[in-house]
Structure 1
Amino acid sequence: MDDSEENGTMSLGLPPITRRRALLGAAGVAATAVLAGCTNSANDTAQQTASTAGGPFDFTDDRGQAVHLDGKPTRIVAYAGSAAALWEYGIRPVGVFGPQKLADGSPDPQVGRVDLSAVTSLGNAFNEFDVPAYIKLAPELLISMVVNANGLWYVPQDSADEITGKAPTVGIRMVRESATKVIERYEALAKALGADTETDAIKQARSEFQTATTRLTDVAKSKGGLRVLAVYGSKDKPYIGNPLAHASLRYLYEAGVPITNVGDQADTVTWAPDLSWEQINRYPADLILYDVRTQALTLDQLKQIDVFNQLPAVKAGALVPWRTENPYTYYSYTQIANEVADAVAKATPGLV
Structure 2
Amino acid sequence: MARPIRSVLACLAALLVLAGAACASTTPPAAETQQGWTFVDDRGETVTAPEVPQRIVAHTSSAGALWDLGIKAVGTFGPLSPVDGKPNPQSGNVDPAAVTNLGEEYGQADIEKLASLAPDLIVYGTWSPEAELTDEEKKMAEIAPMVKINHGKGAMLDKTIARYAELAASLGADLGSPEISQDKAAFESASNRLRDWATSKPDVRIAAVALDPQMMYIAVPKDNADLAYYASLGLDLVEPENPNNGEFWEYLSWENADKYALDVIMWDTRSQASKPEQIIKDKPSFAKLPAVEAGQLVRWDYVSPPSYKLQSVILNKLADELAPTGKLTREPKGCCGRPGS
> TM-score, normalised on structure 2?
0.79
Is 1:164 paired with 2:152? no
| Residue in 1 that maps onto 2:104 | 124
Aligned AA for 1:136?
A: S
Structure 2 equivalent of residue 258 of structure 1: 236
Distance in 1 of aligned mates of 2:91 and 2:132? 20
| Residue 290 (structure 1) aligned with residue 270 (structure 2) | no
Please give the root-mean-square deviation of Cα atoms over the aligned residues, in Å: 2.3
Aligned to 2:4: none
Q: Secondary structure at the match of 2:42?
A: coil
Deviations 1:244-284 (A, max 9, x none): 11222112111111111122869961112x43222222311
Instruction: Name the count of aligned residue pairs.
Output: 294
Q: Decide which of 230, 253, 266 is 1:276's aligned counterpart.
A: 253
Q: Percent identity between the aligned chains?
A: 36
Which residue number in structure 1 is paired with residue 209 of structure 2? 231
Instruction: Measure how far apart 1:171 and its partner are.
Output: 0.7
In 2 relative to 1, CA 281–105 (structure 1 residues): closer, same or farther, beyond 3 Å? closer
1:178 corresponds to which residue?
Answer: 156
The answer to which of 318-327 and 255-264 deviates more is 255-264
Counterpart pick for 1:311 among 271, 279, 289: 289
Distance 1:181 1:266 in 2: 26
Consecutive unaligned residues in structure 2, runs of 5 or more: 1-33, 331-341
Structure-1 residue corresponding to 2:191:
213
Partner of 1:342: 320
8 A Cα contact 1:81 1:328, kept in partner: yes
Please say if residues 63 and 146 of structure 1, whose CA atoms lie closer than 8 Å, have aligned partners that are also in contact. Answer: no
The answer for the alignment partner of 2:31 in structure 1 is none
Q: Distance between the aligned counterparts of 1:244 and 1:336, measured in 2?
A: 19
Please list every run of 5 or more consecutive structure 1 residues that lacks an aligned counterpart in the other structure: 1-53
Q: How does 1:100-111 map to 2 (within 5 A)?
A: 100-102=80-82, 107-111=87-91
Deviations 1:201-242 (A, max 9, x none): 101010011011011111111113211122211111111111
Q: Is the 8 A contact 1:232 1:290 kept in 2?
A: yes
3-state SS of paired residue (2:152)? coil
Q: Which has the higher contact order (CA 8 A, sep 6+)?
A: 1
Which of the numbers 191, 197, 207 marks the counterpart of 2:169?
Answer: 191
Which has more radius of gyration? 2
Query: For 1:135, which of 115, 135, 153 is the aligned residue?
Result: 115
* Residues 323-350 of structure 1, C-alpha deviations (whole Å, 9 max, x = no match): 1032111122112222222233211224
Q: Give the 3 Å change call, closer, same or farther, for CA 69–336 of structure 1 in structure 2.
A: same
Q: Does the CA contact (< 8 Å) of 2:202 and 2:235 recur in 1?
A: no
1:47 corresponding residue in structure 2: none
Distance verdict in 2 for CA 1:267–1:74, change over 3 Å: farther
